[in-house]
Structure formats: C-alpha cells, structure tokens
Structure 1
Amino acid sequence: MTAKVLAIQETPLYSLAHLTLISATVPELIYIAARAGYDAVSPRLIPMHVDGEFTQSPVNRAQVQAAKTALSTTGLKVLDIELARITEDCDPRSFERALELGGELGAKRMIMSAWTPTRDDRNFLVDVYGETCDLAEPYGLTVDLEFPSFSRLRTLDEVLDIVRAADRPNGGILVDTLYLHLSRVDIGELLHVPSDLLHFLHISDCLPGIADTREGMIQLARDARLYPGEGWIDFAGIIERMPPVDFSIELPNTARIAELGYEEHARRCLQHAKQKFGAVRSQRRAADLVHLQFKEESYGQRAH
C-alpha cells in the first residue's frame, strides 16, 4: 500500500481545465490538450452561460460521441467535471445527467461551489451538498467543494465546515491556488484538512495585489490569470502541505490567447507549471498518506 502511495506522489496527472479555453467545445478541448502534452482534461459538462463560453451543449448526443472519440483517439483521461452550482433554487437532481456522463467518460471528481445570496443558509448548503454526493456516488465520483473568493463560501474553513457537516464518503474540497491568495488563506491551514478530502489542485498564478472589489476579483479569475512562476503564489509551500494530488491547470488569460492562440497558450501553461514545480512533492506524514490510499481503494470498490 505504501508503495502505491509513493507511486501516486511521483507521477501526478496534469489536466487542462475547461475555463482555460472556455470557448472550446469538449472535443476541441481534448484534442488541444493532447497536442499540448497534457495527461487529462477537466471539461465543463454543466455550462454557466457566461460570456465567451462554448454554445454547444456538452451532453447532446453528437457532442458526447465526439468527446468519446477524442478520448479514445488521444488516450487522454478525464480528471474531473464541472460545474455544479448551489443556488437558492438548486435541485441536485438537475446535475444527474452530467454526473452520469462524467462516469461514462471516466471522471473521478465533480466540482461544486455555492452562489446563494444570503449568509444564513448553512443548513441548506449542507443538504444540497450532501444530496449531490449521494447522487454522484453510484458513478464513482467525489464532489469537491470549491471556495471562489467572490462566492458564498469564500474560505477554506467555510467549505471544510460544509463538507464535514454533510459527512459523505465521497466528499472533498478543491483548493485553487488563486483563491488561496485572494481569500488570504494561510497555506499552513491546508494541514488542518484531512488528506482524504483533498483530491486535486487548481493551478494558476497572480501578482501580489488583491482587487478591492468583487468585480475586480472576477475579472482576474476569468480573464487574467498568470503562468506559474510569473507571479506571487508559493507553489512549493502549497504542494508540500497537500497530500499527493493531480494538477488541473485553470488559467484563463484573454490577452495571451489573443496573442498565442489556444494551443500555444495551453502548452505554455503546462510548460511553466512543470518547470516551476520541478521535484516539489508532498511532505505530509506517511501514515496520513497510507490512510488516504486505503480510503480511496475502499471507495472505489463500493462504486463498482
């Protein structure tokens, strides 16, 4: 068991997150990622209908078949899918088609975040999150709750509270390096999160300043992230405090895409990440990592 844990630590997957190239369809994302050297993709199967987002439904028959063909042709994996949003009128059953498709494509994770307008709805968030975990479990998916700095849940402590309260075997927390910075989370807090809740890491860099407004944060997060090593983020410190995880590069930058095009931008994202991370690896205690591997194996057996 320990040897398997060490193998995971030595060979993280690098995935191309859909927000990096949000105008691309899922099949296009897969082919671009393959040509740029990625191991996997992280497609958006639940659209947000934001400016610049692809217009073809990722769950219609033609797009699904094209995505499956692209995966078969390239040999890429699907690391995670997105984006299940908790809104005030949210019905978790609306996520089921995406969960089913994610399972078909071999995904292991689904990202969730909360966008309700009030601060007194903790029980509602726990219930929706827990029900989504229950729906995801038959498809072998964890549900990883994220804390965008301009959303309802803005800190590591807040998402940890919801995940712990829901208490599901396939619960999880997604850490995004940008949101660690924007939410002023001390990276030492990562050590307070059990390893079995941390499954992968969203990667991007930024300059040290933090926008004064919500709109400024959104503009940075959706249009102006930097390549790893160009900014302020302490990637070594973060990776050392995480368990061994895979990396999903979520790095939208409209100026770079206009200058370089989709494929070259995706390639440079990956090149900068690998160069910056180098031989940095998790420094969490070995006993904690063995427990993580045991839980993953047990959950995988239940899902199948």
Structure 2
Amino acid sequence: MRTYSLAYLTAGALTPAAMLRLGAELGYAHVGLRLLPNGLGGPFQAWLDDPVQQRETLAAQRDTGVGVFDLEIIRIGEGFDPLAYRPLLEAGAALQAKALLVAGDDTDEARLVDGYARLCELAAPYGLSCDLEFMPWTAVSDARAALRVVQAAGTPRVAGILVDALHVGRSSTTLDDLRALPRELLHYAQICDAPGGPDLTVPQMIHTARCERQLPGEGVIDLAGIFAALPADLPISVEVPHQVRVARLGQTAWARAALEASRSVLNDPCESAP
C-alpha cells in the first residue's frame, strides 16, 4: 500500500503544525515543509527561527502521528557552501524528516558534482537523503542528467533522485530513463497533472509548477506510464499547487481533492479520512 505526503506547494499558506493536523484529518501519512525560500524573496515557512512554531510542530507530530517526509529547499549554484545549510539539517533531525529536496543550478557540472558530493557527506550523519530533482529550466534538466551527476559524485550512500511527474512531462525524460534509475536512488516521487501546450517558455513552465498545476487525471501528463515505470511501493508526494482553485474551494477541500485524485490515478483502493 502506498503512503502519501502533503507537499508544501499544495498547502503552502499553512504553518507546519497546521499542515500536520490537516494531513491527519485527510489521511496523509506525511507532509513536506519548505523551511528555506526557493529563491530571493520566495515564500517559505519561517520555522527555523521561531521557537513557538517549533514547539507547535513537534506537538502536532506527537498528537497526530503524521511525519515530515521532505524539507525544501537546497539549491546548488556557483559559490555553494553546504555548511550554510546546517540549520536545515538540524531541523531535519529534530523533525525526523527523511529527505532533503535539492535543485542543481550550477551550469559548471564538475563544480555541481563537487557541491552535491559535499552536501551528501554533510547530510549523512543527520539521517537525511539528498534527493536531486531534475527540472527542465535548471542545470539538471532531465533524469539522465540527474543520474549523471549522482554517479559522478560517487553515488553517496544518501544520494537520491526525485521524480516529479510535471518535470517528466515537460522535459526530454523518457519512460526508459525512469526505468533505468537504480532503485536505491528512489526515495519518493511527486504527482500532479498539467495542461499541454506547444513551445512553453521557461516563465510559463515555472508559473505552472509553482501556481497552477492540475489535479491528477485532469491534464495530459502520462501519469499511468510514469508511475508504472517507478517502483510500486514508492511514497508519493502530492504536489498540486493552484492558487485560484485553493482560494475558491478552501485549503481542506483542495488537499482532499488532490489526495483522492492521486489515489484514483494510481488505482489505490485505500480511501482518505472523512
């Protein structure tokens, strides 16, 4: 039976404690938190320097039994220093998180490989995997590039590759590329859907990714093929941001719809909590 995590982008307006309680209400086993912004001025959950939020989050974990799966986000660019992310690693240990979401932005691949290897070395004692997410607008644009970086880094013990259905659908990644990913590098995958469109620009792709994804089954991404190519027991992060529809339906109804649609597409008979 699959387990599901409520991704940050699906419920990013909530505090970590509120996400955990919502996850428990709806039947998610985990949540994903964004404790660092994805870019200058980007939104995030200001947990690292907030003792009140920290206490409330740990209490919500104890009360609900819902865990934290992944923490966002570490971006490896020019001048990357993994030591700057030690507070995030310490948060991961305190929250008993499983994974760090990593983006590769450095176009100098040798330097990117070195940065990734050093991050993995630093993260290992904290019990966190470093899951490199390929995205078509980054230096790690597809699954082949992600595997090349991980292998060039020596395939560290905590290395991982994160497969996001959106980025599979909008990159050059093929189903054979997914099948070629070693099982030990796959810790979880992200599910969503999206409309088609010829010659999407990078700003259009980024806007969809962050603000306007569709529920699984509503768009044109080959979700059946993607998840058939991945291990059947892989945990699923339900990452379906849609600012307009969340505002209209409310956060609870949207997070419930996202989970139900994900289970339907994956033919998972388990039903969410009422």
Q: What TM-score do you get using the length of structure 2 for normalisation?
A: 0.92
Distance in structure 2 (CA, Å) of the matches to 1:254 and 1:50: 20
- Inter-CA distance 115–206: structure 2 relative to 1 (3 Å threshold): same
Distance in structure 1 (CA, Å) of the matches to 2:98 and 2:256: 24
User: Within 5 A, what are the aligned runs for 1:28-43?
Assistant: 28-43=18-33
Decide which of 132, 143, 158 is 1:170's aligned counterpart: 158
Distance in structure 1 (CA, Å) of the matches to 2:31 and 2:199: 30
Deviation at 1:155, TM superposition (A): 0.8
**Aligned residue-pair number:** 267
Deviation at 1:188, TM superposition (A): 1.9
For the pair 1:159 / 2:146, whether they are aligned, the reply is yes
Name the counterpart of 1:245. Answer: 234
Decide which of 230, 247, 260 is 2:249's aligned counterpart: 260
- Inter-CA distance 204–260: structure 2 relative to 1 (3 Å threshold): same
Name the counterpart of 2:54. Answer: 64
For the pair 1:278 / 2:267, whether they are aligned, the reply is yes
Question: Per the alignment, in what secondary structure is the counterpart of residue 43 of structure 1?
Answer: strand
* Farther off after superposition, 237-246 or 194-203: 237-246
Deviation at 1:125, TM superposition (A): 0.5
Q: Is the CA contact (8 Å cut-off) linking 2:217 and 2:265 kept in structure 1?
A: yes
- Inter-CA distance 235–224: structure 2 relative to 1 (3 Å threshold): same
Distance in structure 2 (CA, Å) of the matches to 1:107 and 1:74: 15
- Inter-CA distance 250–58: structure 2 relative to 1 (3 Å threshold): farther
Decide which of 133, 137, 145 is 2:124's aligned counterpart: 137
- Inter-CA distance 51–275: structure 2 relative to 1 (3 Å threshold): farther
Decide which of 196, 215, 223 is 2:184's aligned counterpart: 196
Name the counterpart of 2:221. Answer: 233
Name the counterpart of 2:210. Answer: 222
Q: Is the CA contact (8 Å cut-off) linking 1:257 and 1:265 kept in structure 2?
A: yes
Deviation at 1:63, TM superposition (A): 1.7
For the pair 1:114 / 2:107, whether they are aligned, the reply is no
RMSD across aligned C-alpha pairs, in angstroms?
1.8
Name the counterpart of 1:77. Answer: 67
Distance in structure 2 (CA, Å) of the matches to 1:216 and 1:181: 14
Q: Is the CA contact (8 Å cut-off) linking 1:80 and 1:111 kept in structure 2?
A: yes
The structure where helix makes up a greater share of residues is: 1
Deviation at 1:170, TM superposition (A): 0.9
Deviation at 1:47, TM superposition (A): 2.4
**Deviations for 1:38-75, whole angstroms, at most 9, x for unmatched residues?**
11101112223667724634443222111101111111
Distance in structure 1 (CA, Å) of the matches to 2:243 and 2:259: 17
Q: Is the CA contact (8 Å cut-off) linking 1:22 and 1:52 kept in structure 2?
A: no
Question: Per the alignment, in what secondary structure is the counterpart of residue 187 of structure 2?
Answer: strand
User: Within 5 A, what are the aligned runs for 1:40-51?
Assistant: 40-48=30-38
Distance in structure 2 (CA, Å) of the matches to 1:17 and 1:276: 18
**Deviations for 1:120-139, whole angstroms, at most 9, x for unmatched residues?**
x1111111111111111101
Deviation at 1:37, TM superposition (A): 2.0
Q: Is the CA contact (8 Å cut-off) linking 2:30 and 2:66 kept in structure 1?
A: yes
**Deviations for 1:216-265, whole angstroms, at most 9, x for unmatched residues?**
10111011101011111222222221123100011110111111111111
Identity, % of aligned pairs? 36
Distance in structure 1 (CA, Å) of the matches to 2:59 and 2:93: 16
Q: What TM-score do you get using the length of structure 1 for normalisation?
A: 0.83
Deviation at 1:210, TM superposition (A): 4.8
- Inter-CA distance 171–52: structure 2 relative to 1 (3 Å threshold): closer
Q: Is the CA contact (8 Å cut-off) linking 1:226 and 1:251 kept in structure 2?
A: yes
User: Within 5 A, what are the aligned runs for 1:3-18?
Assistant: 11-18=1-8
Q: Is the CA contact (8 Å cut-off) linking 1:83 and 1:110 kept in structure 2?
A: yes
* Farther off after superposition, 44-53 or 85-94: 44-53
Q: Is the CA contact (8 Å cut-off) linking 1:24 and 1:54 kept in structure 2?
A: no
